[in-house]
Every structure is written in C-alpha cells, then in structure tokens.
Amino acid sequence: MYVLVWEFHVRPGAEAAFEELYGPAGGWVALFAGSPGYRGTELLRADAAPGRYLTIDRWESRRAYEAFRQGATARYRELDEAGEGLTEAEALVGEFTTRRP
C-alpha cells in the first residue's frame, strides 16, 4: 500500500468548510473514489493545536496513485485551489509504503 500524509494549518473560522472539503463525504474523497486503486482517506484534527489537521490517503500502489493523478488533473487543481483559500499552510509530511502480510 502507498500512503501520503499531508499537514494543513487551517485559517481561523474556516475549519467547518475545510472538514467538509477534506472529510469522508467531501470533494477530495469523491474525486479519489472514482479510481480503482484508491483505498481510503482519514482526516485527523489535532486536539492541542486548533486549526492543525492531517490527511492520510491510502492507495493500492504508487502506480495507482500516479495513474489517478494523470487522469484527474483539472478537477484535482480545482479542489486544490479551493483548499488553498481555507488554509494558511500545507505540506506533504511524507510518502510511505506498507508491507503486505
């Protein structure tokens, strides 16, 4: 499995809109769900740091994620721009792989 972890610092007052866009029924998950290699997303909110969030996106493989990115560039860009308006900072924490049992 291929996993991407992103960190976001959300603008004060934009938390609800951010959670709607990045949450389980949001635009990102809807976009990802159209790809057969997508395995799920978690949205985590930091308890001790208001406005700090992590997303954990799981894909069958790096190849599946890259195929998705090639086929969804316009919609990906639209969602990314919408998210930029809600955040003060965004950073890729890292890309990870898990071993299959």
State yes or no: pLDDT of 101 exceeds 80: no
pLDDT tens-digit readout, 25-57 = 999 999 999 999 999 999 999 999 999 999 999
For the chain, what is the total number of helices (H) and then of strands (E)? 4, 4
Give the CA dihedral 10, 39, 63, 30, nearest 10 degrees.
-60
Q: What is the pTM of this model?
A: 0.91
Which CATH number is 55's domain given? 3.30.70.100
pLDDT tens per residue across span 60-95: 999 999 999 888 888 889 999 999 999 999 999 999
Q: Is the pLDDT of residue 100 over 80?
A: no
Q: What is the mean pLDDT of residues 17-25?
A: 96
Overall domain count for the chain: 1
Q: Identify the domain containing residue 65 by its residue range.
A: 2-97
